[in-house]
Structure 1
């Protein structure tokens, strides 16, 4: 992980991010791997691209992610409090779903407010000069998950595995497994697969630390056990998960069917 304080520049061989801080310090981060996390570094965890210092905590700990699949990069806002803006040409929009990101596009993440109350942004410009460029019109398209995914029916409280338009009712879930899917489906209600941190999932399943029974504690290992049990019910091959995926060093994300909820669906906050 590199932070802006280090001001280290990596030679751009493939895709990269040129990051400009609110104070206009710059660095270039080469995008290695197939998933890159962006956010504010905290003592127990550091994202791949750390935006700091951020004393006002405008930036989320896991603010957004970049993913490479099917020959292209996409960006997903991780349900951050202050949002992520995508600038494409002369248009700026707030991310609501996973979007394809193209050479020259810029992510805007709130970094400060000036004395007049105007926002000042971190600017993360995506550089991929060797890729084939689309025609220069229109806004970036939403990126749909093309593999198997989950549809959660909020009224009937049932989960379905969806693949190529065919749905199968998921059975055999234990109560905690069902609770995990319901919570994660609520976090990804817009259709974008939101990464959920280990600590967040521990709280969702067992409550805050002060609610735990005396001498009882829960850890990543407990979450991993619930995830393994869920994968045995929802995945065609639990050893190669496509629906409930691991986000290395962060937690897990659930690929849900965009717009696939039933009438009366609600987010996790409505549970």
Structure 2
């Protein structure tokens, strides 16, 4: 366990890369699950707050017995823990970096209202960010998804995380390629990733989440643009 004394902020948390070193470096991270500027801690008006910087895999905030995905800026309280996905086993079990905030001063708990569920009439997908589990939702019935590989989780986490209020979300090819393999400047020499590589990941995901992968209704193709994910409620 390593302790870091926070100064006046801002404090950046992320993955080191060429010409970039965050204040709190999470590594090693060969799969690039951690963003280069994953989240930021700021000090203002006598309190610390944390903001997720639109990271691909998101940041979880555990407060007491409640763990939720960090959205927007949140005040940190003594004992709060940030969970950042650092790896995933071959069986799809998430492994998190845990950063616990220790503050000797008494603070008041900030209210966290539960998200309002949004349901779709057709087949959709619900992604549980905390447990890294996906569920097919149809006619109000949830069916756990099995067999997803780590890149499949990466794809679904990225797309579900960009849904607003549980609405369907479309992402273009280049955004998805970057989400899966990182920015071009971080690719290995003489290696490139194309729409064909992306399509391979999409096919593997469809085999797991679709009733009929040849006629996808959850992860749909948007011709000439990319793919659309039909989401059931906000990603939790």
TM-score by length of 2: 0.49
TM value normalised by structure 1: 0.42
Find the structure with the greater CA-based Rg: 1
